A and B are shown apart, each in its own frame.
Chain A
Amino acid sequence: MHGLINRAIEEFTRATYGDALWTAAATAAGADPRGFAMMRHYDTALTGKMMRELARRLSRSPRELAEDIGAWIAGVPSIRRLLRFSGSSFDAFVAALPEIQGRALMVVRGFQLPALSVSATAEGWTIVADAEPIWIHALSGMLRAMADDYGVLAVIEVAGDQLQVSVPLTAFSEGRPFSISDPLLGVA
C-alpha cells in the first residue's frame, strides 16, 4: 500500500480523534507510532490491521470508518481542489472517475489507486472498483462530500461491491465556490 494512503488514514485519525488514539492503534497494529512516511510502500496487510484497530477502538466497522475517511479526504483543501479539477459539474466529476487512477499515477510515481469503472443506468450511474470492497465504501464517503461541494443532492448507496449514484436534484444548494486559478478561494 502506498504511504500516501496510510498517511491519509493517519492524518484523518489525528485530526478527527487526536494523537492519542492514533498512537494506540498504530502501536497495536505494529506500525510506527511516529507516523507513516508518505513516499514509501507498506505491506497492504498493515493497512488492514490499522483499519481494524482503529474501528475497534471507535466501536465502528472498518467500512464505516473507510466512508468517513473518504469524506474527510475530499474536505482537505488541496485534495478537494484536485478533485474539483476532474469536472466542472458533479455529473462530469462522476463520469471522470475512471481517470482518477491515471491522474494519481501521473502525479506520484507508484501511487496505485484502484481502477474504477462507471456505467450509466436509468437512475444515474453504477460504479465498480477493481479492489477490496472497502474501497467502494471510501469512495461513497468521498462522493457524498463532493456532491455537497458541487451543491447537488445525490443518493449514493453501496450495493454489494457496487456503488449506485443518482442525482434527483442538480441545483440543490449553491455548493462551495471554486476557481481554478486561486487556491485561496477554495479553502474558505
Chain B
Amino acid sequence: MRHRDLTLAGGAGLLPDEAAAAPPPALAEAALSMMPMHLLVSADGRVLSAGATLARLLQGQDRFDAAFDPIGPACIGDLARAERVFLRLRSDPARVLRGRGSLLADGAALFNLGFGIGLVDAVRAFDLTDRDFAPSDLAMELLFLHEANSAMTDELSRANLRLEEARSKAEAEAFTDPLTGLFNRRGLELSFAALRQGASIDLSQQFALVLMDLDHFKTLNDTHGHAAGDAMLREVAVRLNAATRAEDTIARTGGDEFVLLLPHFADAERLERLGQRIVASIEQPFDFNGTTCRISVSLGGALSTDYPCLDWAAMQAAADDALYRAKRAGRGCLRIAGHGSD
C-alpha cells in the first residue's frame, strides 16, 4: 500500500512517491516546486522558470512580453514591486492571471500567480486536475463549491417548477365548476377584472352580459333524478360552448344559473340573434339513459354601451331585471335591458 499518512492525504498532487529517494533540495528549489503557478523572469524578460501549471499556459513562450500583456505597469521591475499584478494572456486575451511579484537581487522577478474568479473557466480550458494546484491552494474547494452551488440551484429550480405547476392546477380548480368545467363565480369575476383592465386601456371595449336560468330545472331533477339533472347541466355547458366564441366567458354561478360575458359586443340585434340560437340549441331534446329530456332557458342581457361608464353592479341588476321580464314573457326567450318591451 502506498502512503497512509493522513496529514498529507486529502490534499492533491505534489506528493510523488519518488520524493523520498532524492537528496533534499535547496530552499529556493523546494519553494518553487510547491508553486505550480510561479513565473521567474530575468531582468531582460526571459522566462527562467515556470511552474508546471503555468508552463501549460505559456505554450512554449520563453519571453515574458510575448506571453503576457500586463494591466498597469509594463516594466518588469515595476510589476515585481506592485502590491497586485494582473497579467493578460496574449494567446487568450479574455484570461487575466493575478498574483504578486517579488524583485530579486539580480534584477530578476518572481511572480506567484492564480486564476482568481476565472478558475472554473480555466479548469475547463486547460483541462486542469487537482494535481495542477498546490494542496494549500483552495482551488479544489472553490470548484467544489461552484459545483455544489450549481447542483443545489438545479434542484431548487426543479422544486420551484413543481410548486408552480401545483399552484396553476390549484388556481384552475379554484376558478372552475367541477361539474361542467365552466368557470365558477370566482372565475367569472376574474374574467370581468381582465375585461375591465382591457377596457381601461381600450375605451372602445364593448361587451354584453347575459344571465340565464334553465326553465323548470327543478321539475326535471324531481322527475328524472339528480343524475339526469347533472347530465343535463353538463350537456348545457357543451351546447353553450358550441354556441359562443372562444373569447367569451361562460360561467355556472349556481344550480341552474349561467352567466355569459361576451366581449366586443355592442349590438342589441346581434345579441337577440345569439339569444335565439342559444334557446334553440338548449331546447333540442337530450337523451339520458334512454329517456328523452327537454328543457328550455330564459335569458336576460345588458350591453355595456348603454352605460356611460363601466358599472358592473348596475349591469348585473339590469340583466337580472331583463331575465325576470323574459320569464314573465313566457320563458324560452331573451330580453335585453333598455331594448324592446314586454
Q: Is A112 an interface residue (CB 8 A)?
A: no
Measured CB to CB, the closest approach of chain B to A150, in angstroms, equals 13
Q: Is B137 an interface residue (CB 8 A)?
A: no
Whether A88 contacts B1 by the Cβ 8 Å rule is no
Q: In the complex, which of the residues A78, A82, A92, A119 contacts B154, with contact meaning CB atoms closer than 8 Å? A: A78
Assuming the contacts A96-B9, A167-B1, asked whether A38 and B159 have C-beta atoms less than 8 A apart, the reply is yes
Whether A181 contacts B124 by the Cβ 8 Å rule is yes
A182 to B123 Cα, complex, angstroms: 9
Closest residue to A102 on the B side, CB-wise? Answer: B141
Q: Is B155 an interface residue (CB 8 A)?
A: yes
Q: In B100-123, which residues have CB < 8 Å from any A CB?
A: 123
A170 to B151 Cα, complex, angstroms: 30
Assuming the contacts A78-B151, A81-B147, A103-B144, asked whether A179 and B9 have C-beta atoms less than 8 A apart, the reply is no
Given A87-B9, A87-B10, A91-B2, 5 additional A-B pairs, CB 8 A: A82-B144, A86-B144, A92-B10, A95-B6, A180-B143
Q: In the complex, which of the residues A79, A81, A95, A103 contacts B9, with contact meaning CB atoms closer than 8 Å? A: A95
Number of B residues with CB within 8 Å of any CB on chain A: 31
Q: What are 14 A-B interface contacts by the 8 Å CB criterion?
A: A38-B156, A78-B147, A78-B151, A79-B151, A82-B148, A82-B151, A85-B143, A95-B6, A99-B10, A103-B144, A120-B4, A179-B127, A179-B129, A180-B140
Closest residue to B12 on the A side, CB-wise? Answer: A88
Chain A residues with Cβ below 8 Å from B13 are 88
Whether A88 contacts B124 by the Cβ 8 Å rule is no
Whether A37 contacts B10 by the Cβ 8 Å rule is no
Whether B129 contacts A120 by the Cβ 8 Å rule is no
Listed in ascending order, the chain B residues whose CB lies under 8 Å from chain A are 1-4, 6, 9-13, 123-124, 127-131, 140, 143-145, 147-152, 154-156, 159
A91 to B10 Cα, complex, angstroms: 8
Closest residue to B130 on the A side, CB-wise? Answer: A88
Whether A183 contacts B10 by the Cβ 8 Å rule is no
Q: Is A116 an interface residue (CB 8 A)?
A: no
Chain A residues with Cβ below 8 Å from B12 are 88, 92
Whether B9 contacts A181 by the Cβ 8 Å rule is no
Chain A residues with Cβ below 8 Å from B130 are 88, 180
Chain A residues with Cβ below 8 Å from B140 are 85, 180
Measured CB to CB, the closest approach of chain A to B240, in angstroms, equals 36
A172 to B4 Cα, complex, angstroms: 18
Assuming the contacts A82-B144, A85-B140, asked whether A107 and B149 have C-beta atoms less than 8 A apart, the reply is yes
Chain A residues with Cβ below 8 Å from B123 are 180-181
Closest residue to B123 on the A side, CB-wise? Answer: A181
Measured CB to CB, the closest approach of chain A to B304, in angstroms, equals 44
Whether A88 contacts B6 by the Cβ 8 Å rule is no
Q: Is A163 an interface residue (CB 8 A)?
A: no
Whether A170 contacts B148 by the Cβ 8 Å rule is no
Chain A residues with Cβ below 8 Å from B147 are 78, 81-82, 85, 183
Interface centre among B4, B11, B13, B124 (most CB of A within 10 A): B4
A86 to B148 Cα, complex, angstroms: 12
Whether A120 contacts B152 by the Cβ 8 Å rule is no
